[in-house]
Amino acid sequence: MPPRPTMSIAATLAAHRKKTSIINKYQPIGQAGAATGGGGSAGNTTYSSSGTTISSGQTVAPPKRPLYTSSSQAPPTPAAKKPKPSTTTAPPESLPVYLDQVVSDATGSQVNACQYNTTGEYILTGGVDRTVRLWNPDTGFCIKTYEAHGWEVLDLAVSPENGKFASCGGDRTVFLWDVMSGMTIRRFTGHTQRINTVDFNEEGTVLASGSYDTTIRLWDCRSQLRAPIQILEEPKDSITSIKIKGSDLLAGSVDGSIRIYDIRMGTIITDQIFEPVTSVSFSKDGNCVLASSLDDTLRLMDRANGTMLNAYKGHTNNKYKIRSCLSNSDAYVLSGSEDGNIYIWDLLEGEVVHKVTAHSKIVSAIDYHPKQDRMCSASVDGSIKTWSTRPVGS
Amino acid sequence: MAANDILVVVGTPLPQPKKSSLAADSSRRPHPTRDLEASTALHGLVKDEHGRRRFHGAFTGGFSAGYYNTVGSSEGWTPSEFVSSRNNRSNIKSSRPEDFMDEEDKQMLSDATRITATDDFGASGSAQRDLERKRATAMNMQASGSVLGALSDNMIDDLIVPTSESIGARLLKRMGWKPGQGIGPRVSRQQRYSKANLSSDDNVPANVTFAPVDSAIIVFTNKSNHFGLGFNPHKDAPEFGVSAHAQSESRYLSGADSGVTRSKLGFGLLNDSEDDEDDDNVFGSGSNYRHQVRMEKDMDSAVSLNKRRKSSHGSIPSSNSKSASALMYCSDGRPPLTGFLLVAVKTQDPKWYTAPIVPSNFTPRHTFSSNGKTTSSTKQHGWSKLTADDRALVLGETPIDAPRRSVFEYISSENKNRLDGALGFVLDVEGEKHLRKDHWEVPTIEKSAAEAALQGFIPFSDDVSKQQRYKQYLNIQAGQSAEKIEMVQGFSGEDMNKELNEFKSQAAKAAEMGMFGPLTRSMADFYPNKLLCKRFNVADPHPEHKDVGPDTAKDLLDKATMDSMLMERSSARFSLSRETLVSTENEASSITGLLDDGTMPEMEQEQAGSPIQVPQERPPMDIFKAIFDDSDSGSDSDVDMDADASAITMAPSQLINPTSEAIAKEQDKGDVAVVTQMMENGLEGASAIPFRPIFTKRTNRPTRSPSPRAGSPNQAPKIDLRRLDDRARDEGSEAESDDAHIGPRLDLSEHRTTTKSAGRALSRKTSSTGADTHHHPSTDQEIGPGCFTLSSRSHNRDSSEEFIGPPVAPTGAMEYTFSTVEESGRSGQRRKEAEDRDHKARRESRSSKRHESLGSRKDESEHSRSRRSRSERSSGSHRRSLSVEYTASKSRRHTEVESNHSAASADSDEHEHLAEARRSDGSLSAWKSSKRARAADDRVGDRQDAESRSDRARKDRTSTRRHKDRRSRPNDRDGELDRGRSSSNRRHKHSRTEGEPSRRDGRDRDRTQGHSRDRHAKAREDEDDSDGVWVEKEVAGAWAEKESEAPDSADFAQAAVSSRSRPRAAAFF
């Protein structure tokens, strides 16, 4: 069998893994290195950048076993049994599983979105109380409340320069806010149904919003154009999640597919996963796509060829939109759950590494700190919490 | 009535009715007594003053209510007399309602009043009063918020004991009862207080007895109606419930403390308490009921009462009090509903039977035997095993000779067994096999699934041997290997089964994973908006893709969009100007040789060095600036006009004439240094004489000696020549054949040019005639951007004309050319003459134009334009004859444009002018034209003398400017060239018009003054005329032309008008 291009991804992820100094559970395999090298040199131009990453990683670390072993390879040598990760064992150091701060207790109303700003200093939350709130995650102080929405807030996006953020929700309008003044700068109207998700491009010049009306609209933040720059109408059902990375626009839809609009290449890549997709996110290197779907499963899809790299199960997610994310190192997969816990999987192994008992109700949103190993979570019960790698006080 | 009539009278005789008493004295106030008498006498009935009986209602007196319909009496109604209260104040009694009532009313009043017992009467009354007081106290306490306040209010009430007590109270007091105590025998402390209170008061001796708790007596009412429990029929209609309410009020005590009181009250009463309106509904009372029950339980008061009652009844022994109290509660621990009593004797309990014993082997749900065998129940009935065939066999039927039904029936038993073994795990027929320890089955999965699983994730990475087995299993299942799975050492069959099942599930999972990939992926083209690409800093991935969906916003940055917008605009403008030109076209007149001023040799020399270019676009802005800069000098500038017009409108169609001229020139003079052949395409039609644009070096030109060549083919009249010819024929002289209207045949651009050129020609003419100055002797040089040198065919003077114009040959030009050819072929001689004329005229016009052009100001050009147009109008006839002239004039114009040095060869020009004018005035008599021309000349002279006339002034300006320009701007040629290039066609049309000098002069003047006054002003005002303005002006010019189309007589009139208006116009200058 020819080496699969996914191997380079796996190797990349493994390299990430190593970077984060996680216990190396993988024993070196002779062929794996070759295979990895083959994967890198397979001429897959898409991954040329990641190929360099691999080579550098290989100099430092023993070759990692690829995620996938093709049948043509020689059987791996027997090795010591890998310790089964379990929730009972101590979580890896880099996992933010200890409660850091209760930003907001469960007295508030349902929170739909929580989001770190790009520096991780603040948290923005939005919920059914029709407000967006800016919190200090360390003290739990509510710095500012942004009120303009007439309906619940469903999603937030912080502009890269942190000066603005966008919110959307039931009022079919994307609000572009000025963080300091608390006023809306622009209000983009055009969607005919509630807007589920919104995201900035990396320069903060374009806002993408996905709506229940099955369209994605791209709004220009620079000019005063009232009409959207473009309307993407390919999805057949409600758009639940949009992420933009580079020139890729990733959209998950209830129609059971993940779409990547590659603006640079001018192609739409549609990956069917046959289950309503509720949350999508890119891995940090942009080569993998993590998708939550309503069959209690998260899937890690290969952007290059649409194969599924891994599936993550164990949590409950079959009714609600629950956000998932990857850790900064791309080593872990995190997702909320309808049982109030936060589940953390090892990206490679697909096992639940840790289960954080977080909230009393559905964990609607989690977000990983952009720089540190922290995360914040918000729940339907109205509570907002932050988590760190160490218990408070230690 | 006769006396002898016998009358039998029975009864009382009727009184004689008073005559018309009713009718006549209707206004009279009825006198009751009198009426009474009358009516009584009659019927005893009451009537009003009209004699109508008054009916008071069947039950209120009928017809005889009141005192005969009054409130009076037999004495009449008398108001009570006024009594002064001064002396007998005490005697005055205030009037009561009864004072105003009659007996009937009083009767009704007395009926209404009922005698009731006072509050004080009876025990219930006193009790009610007590309760009322308590309630008031409570309310006061509530209102005041303090006990003290309540006390202070009620202290007196409490202290003052009512003197009269009810008999019941008195009796009770006699019996030792005290107010505040309950009624009944004294009870022990235990009975008195509830258990909760007991602990707090332990020091009280046990033998002390207490009065019972004072509690309201519960009166149970029978439910005498058929309403549902708690239903109040008067809830929404309280007015009907008054009596019932009063009843209940009178019968029951309304509690001061609503809670407590309610708890004491009967259930049905709850609806009647007016302070609990909110609870007045079915459900509310239900809750009240519950509340009540609870309260009773707590307070224990009802119990005690009941107890007492029972004990007093003696039906239940007092020793049984405990059981009695127990009896008071229902089996659920609650007291019975109010109005119900628990039965004393219990009915016998229903008999209970113990549940049957479930056999230990019983399983609550049905299980099918796993080995597929029929269950015992079915076993019992053997029939289930028998098929129809079996039965037939049993019955001894002869089997039907029919094909066998199943494939298996063809298989031998041996093979059958083997098949069973192979398919056993599927069919699960042999259940026993599972029980065997060493037996294991290989679960199968689909081949595709196995393949997919092989492609996908391979688990068991921690156990390599297991992983191997897994792979082997998959390989087998995928048909990639033929080996068989063998028992692993140390594995039992069970283990094997387990592992293999695990493999199967893992494979399914892996297959599921492997499912994703190319099959689930689809790719399509995505056409991001340009703006989107820009925002994302990427290049447009599909630059060739133009299709923009209807929904997407229009790309404002799109160049195509911009272009189209621009095109729209320009085309609109173009069409406008086009119309203008068309309208003027008919009037465009050819100008016969009035303009004969050749270009100044010096100037030509100067210009000769200018580069020969054929730019096709609008000249740069600085040229315009250079041209338009001085607004002071007021000469008409054709050049400006041309330039502008060409810039504005499309200049393409203008070059043919220049071409021909150039060729002619070339041929004539042979000294053309540079000959550029242009517009060959456009000239194709002219087979006889190829027209080629020729560039001549300026240096060569001035030195050329005039070599008049008559009838050079190139100079053939170009436009409308046929007509011209006809006319010429008709009139027998070319000079007079000028009347024809060339218009319709000219194409647009030509028209345009025509108008303009006409105007220009006018101005030129005027200037030339008026100033009489500038006749350039030698060559006509038109310096255009392209520097076409066109040799004029008329060679009275040798003039090499440099033609300025765009090298584009429009269709109109083609046409033009054709006609020219024809013309030339037809009437060489005529042509010659015409050419001569033309030449002169050209020169003249050239010179004038030169002036204009040099001193070109916008306003000037305005003038010229309007004039031109007018002249065209007027000289429509000229045009014909001047087909030759066209060229000439064209060239002239050009020359004017370019050549600053207009060596004014004035004299001959003048004559020519006149001649031309005469000639050109084909429609009119020659003398007329000549006369006019003369007059014009005179006028010109006058003008020169008196500057007050605008025309003259203008011309002067022109001339002066000309001179000035000549002097100051020798190099302007280039700029002008540019301008001229584009407008060459126009220009030559111009020249056409120019052909007729003096006559037009006059007319022109008039018209100009008459019509273009405003335009003048306007032009002056905005020096930086935009194109639009130009167009506007052109329109105006056209209009002016039209007007001037009027017959010559009209001209005079106009002249008059214009002369009148002249001063005004002059004022502008």
Report pLDDT digits (tens) over B958-1013.
444 544 444 444 444 444 444 444 444 444 444 443 444 444 444 444 444 444 44
Q: In the predicted model, is pLDDT for residue A56 greater than 80?
A: no
Q: In the predicted model, is pLDDT for residue A320 greater than 80?
A: yes
Name the residue among A160, A134, A135 with its Cα closest to residue A147: A134
Q: In the predicted model, is pLDDT for residue B791 greater than 50?
A: no
Pick B543 or A271 by higher pLDDT: A271
Span B590-625, pLDDT tens digits: 343 334 444 343 443 444 444 444 445 666 777 777
Q: What number is the average pLDDT over the span B203-224?
A: 77
Q: In the predicted model, is pLDDT for residue A198 greater than 90?
A: yes
Task: Give the model's pLDDT for residue A209.
Answer: 92
Query: Contact at 8 Å (CB) between B822 and B571?
Result: no
Query: Contact at 8 Å (CB) between B689 and B714?
Result: yes
Name the residue among B913, B587, B580 with its Cα closest to residue B740: B587
| Chain A CA closest to residue B466 | A78
Pairwise CB contact (< 8 Å): A263 & B532: yes
- Chain A residues touching B533 at Cβ < 8 A: 263
* B479 inside 8 A of chain A by CB: no
| Chain A CA closest to residue B465 | A78
Pairwise CB contact (< 8 Å): B516 & A299: yes
SS3 B138: helix
B residues 456..475 contacting A (CB < 8 A)? 456-458, 461-465, 467-468, 471, 474-475
Task: Give the model's pLDDT for residue B492.
Answer: 74
* A272 inside 8 A of chain B by CB: yes
* A306 inside 8 A of chain B by CB: yes
- Chain A residues touching B514 at Cβ < 8 A: 307-308
Q: Which whole-number Å values give the CA distances from B535 to A217, A248, A261, B155, in the listed order?
A: 14, 13, 15, 89
Q: In the predicted model, is pLDDT for residue B855 greater than 50?
A: no
Span B1006-1064, pLDDT tens digits: 444 444 444 444 444 444 443 433 434 444 444 444 444 444 444 444 444 444 444 34
Task: Give the model's pLDDT for residue B888.
Answer: 41
Task: Give the model's pLDDT for residue B437.
Answer: 52
Pick B882 or A96 by higher pLDDT: A96
Residue B659 burial by Cβ neighbours in a 10 Å radius (0-12, 13-18, 19+)? buried
Task: Give the model's pLDDT for residue B1040.
Answer: 42
Structure confidence at residue B586 as a pLDDT band (50, 70, 90):
very low
* B526 inside 8 A of chain A by CB: yes
For chain A, percent of residues with pLDDT exceeding 70: 76
Q: In the predicted model, is pLDDT for residue B252 greater than 50?
A: no
Both tokens assigned to A330: 């791309």
Task: Give the model's pLDDT for residue B93.
Answer: 65
- Chain A residues touching B458 at Cβ < 8 A: 68-69, 71
Pick B642 or A167 by higher pLDDT: A167
- Chain B residues touching A269 at Cβ < 8 A: 521-523
- Chain B residues touching A347 at Cβ < 8 A: none
A residues 158..187 contacting B (CB < 8 A)? none
- Chain B residues touching A222 at Cβ < 8 A: 535
Q: In the predicted model, is pLDDT for residue B871 greater than 90?
A: no
Query: Contact at 8 Å (CB) between B1046 and B1054?
Result: yes
A residues 32..71 contacting B (CB < 8 A)? 65, 67-71
Q: What number is the average pLDDT over the span B900-923?
A: 44
* B906 inside 8 A of chain A by CB: no
Task: Give the model's pLDDT for residue B844.
Answer: 53
How far is it, in rounded angstroms, from Cα B71 to Cα B65?
10
Residue type, B211: A
Task: Give the model's pLDDT for residue B877.
Answer: 40
Task: Give the model's pLDDT for residue B202.
Answer: 59
| Facing B520 at nearest CB: one of A71, A78, A271 | A271
* A83 inside 8 A of chain B by CB: no
How far is it, in rounded angstroms, from Cα B1006 to Cα B1050?
11
- Residue identified by tokens 């729209």 is B568
Task: Give the model's pLDDT for residue B159.
Answer: 59
Task: Give the model's pLDDT for residue B932.
Answer: 53
Task: Give the model's pLDDT for residue B464.
Answer: 80
Task: Give the model's pLDDT for residue B163.
Answer: 62
How far is it, in rounded angstroms, from Cα B307 to Cα B325?
7
Task: Give the model's pLDDT for residue B564.
Answer: 67
* B529 inside 8 A of chain A by CB: yes
Pairwise CB contact (< 8 Å): B531 & A308: no
The most confident of B72-81, B673-682, B984-993, by mean pLDDT? B72-81
* B515 inside 8 A of chain A by CB: yes
Structure confidence at residue B160 as a pLDDT band (50, 70, 90):
low
Pick B56 or B596 by higher pLDDT: B56
Structure confidence at residue B89 as a pLDDT band (50, 70, 90):
low
Model pTM score: 0.35
Pairwise CB contact (< 8 Å): A229 & B531: yes
Name the residue among B601, B956, B627, B577 with its Cα closest to residue B752: B577
Q: What number is the average pLDDT over the span B285-310?
A: 42
Name the residue among B827, B826, B833 with its Cα closest to residue B796: B833
- Stretch (H or E) spanning B308: helix B301-313
Pick A139 or B697 by higher pLDDT: A139
| Nearest CA distance, B497 vs chain A (angstrom) | 23
* A372 inside 8 A of chain B by CB: no
Task: Give the model's pLDDT for residue B991.
Answer: 40
| Facing B516 at nearest CB: one of A233, A262, A273 | A273
| Facing B523 at nearest CB: one of A230, A233, A269 | A269
For chain B, percent of residues with pLDDT exceeding 90: 0
Q: Name, in order, each residue with C-beta under 8 angstroms of A305's C-beta and a sequence gap of 6 or more.
A: A5, A6, B517, B518, B521
* B541 inside 8 A of chain A by CB: yes
Task: Give the model's pLDDT for residue A243.
Answer: 92
Minimum mean pLDDT among A270-284, B298-312, B454-468: which range?
B298-312
Task: Give the model's pLDDT for residue B88.
Answer: 67
Both tokens assigned to B604: 């030509």
Task: Please report how many Cα atoms fall inside a 13 Å half-sphere around the Cα of residue B273, on the Cβ side.
Answer: 27
| Chain B CA closest to residue A215 | B551
- Stretch (H or E) spanning B294: helix B282-299
Span B316-359, pLDDT tens digits: 333 344 444 445 677 777 777 877 877 777 777 778 888 888 88
How far is it, in rounded angstroms, from Cα A126 to Cα A92?
31
Structure confidence at residue A242 as a pLDDT band (50, 70, 90):
very high
Q: In the predicted model, is pLDDT for residue B120 greater than 60?
A: no
Name the residue among B594, B518, B586, B598 with its Cα closest to residue B880: B586
Task: Give the model's pLDDT for residue B498.
Answer: 81
**Residue pairs between chains A and B whose CB atoms are closer than 8 Å:** 141
A residues 212..231 contacting B (CB < 8 A)? 218, 220, 222, 225, 227-231
How far is it, in rounded angstroms, from Cα A156 to Cα A149?
12
Pick A207 or B797 by higher pLDDT: A207
Residues found in chain B: 1069
Q: In the predicted model, is pLDDT for residue B267 greater than 70?
A: no
Q: What number is the average pLDDT over the span B626-635?
A: 56
Minimum mean pLDDT among A235-244, B589-598, B659-668: which range?
B589-598
What is the distance of C-alpha A213 from the center of its chain? 23
| Chain B CA closest to residue A68 | B457
Q: What is the mean pLDDT of chain A?
A: 77
Q: What angle do CA A122, A124, A126 make, to 5 degrees?
A: 165
Residue A308 burial by Cβ neighbours in a 10 Å radius (0-12, 13-18, 19+)? buried
What is the distance of C-alpha B901 from the center of its chain? 66
Structure confidence at residue A5 as a pLDDT band (50, 70, 90):
very low
Structure confidence at residue A167 as a pLDDT band (50, 70, 90):
very high
Instruction: Give the DSSP letter string of B44-83.
Output: S--B-TTSPBP---TTTTGGG-TTTSSS--TT---PPPP-
Pick A236 or B126 by higher pLDDT: A236
Q: Name, in order, each residue with C-beta under 8 angstroms of B627's C-beta and a sequence gap of 6 or more.
A: B637, B639, B640, B643, B856, B972, B975, B976, B979
Name the residue among A329, A392, A372 with its Cα closest to residue A22: A329
Structure confidence at residue A304 as a pLDDT band (50, 70, 90):
confident
Both tokens assigned to B5: 């009539």
B residues 243..282 contacting A (CB < 8 A)? none
Task: Give the model's pLDDT for residue A58.
Answer: 35
The most confident of B238-252, B869-883, B928-942, by mean pLDDT? B238-252
Pick B929 or A391 by higher pLDDT: A391
Pairwise CB contact (< 8 Å): A263 & B536: yes
ipTM of predicted assembly, 2 dp: 0.75
Pairwise CB contact (< 8 Å): B521 & A270: yes
How far is it, in rounded angstroms, from Cα B999 to Cα B1005?
10
Alpha helix positions (H), B25-164:
32-35, 41-42, 103-112, 123-144, 147-159
Task: Give the model's pLDDT for residue B842.
Answer: 53
Task: Give the model's pLDDT for residue B55.
Answer: 67
Q: What number is the average pLDDT over the span A118-137?
A: 89
Structure confidence at residue B551 as a pLDDT band (50, 70, 90):
very low
| Chain B CA closest to residue A190 | B551
Pick A138 or B700 by higher pLDDT: A138
Task: Give the model's pLDDT for residue B226.
Answer: 83
SS3 B8: coil
- Stretch (H or E) spanning A289: strand A288-293
Task: Give the model's pLDDT for residue B695.
Answer: 56
* A264 inside 8 A of chain B by CB: yes
| Chain A CA closest to residue B537 | A247
Q: What number is the average pLDDT over the span A352-370?
A: 88
| Nearest CA distance, B492 vs chain A (angstrom) | 23
Task: Give the model's pLDDT for residue B1033.
Answer: 42
Task: Give the model's pLDDT for residue A175.
Answer: 92
End-to-end CA distance of chain A: 51
* A307 inside 8 A of chain B by CB: yes
Q: What number is the average pLDDT over the span A124-145?
A: 88
User: Judging by DSSP bridges, how do beta strands A173-178 and A164-169 pair with one another?
Assistant: antiparallel
Q: In the predicted model, is pLDDT for residue B506 greater than 60?
A: yes
Q: What is the mean pLDDT of chain B?
A: 55
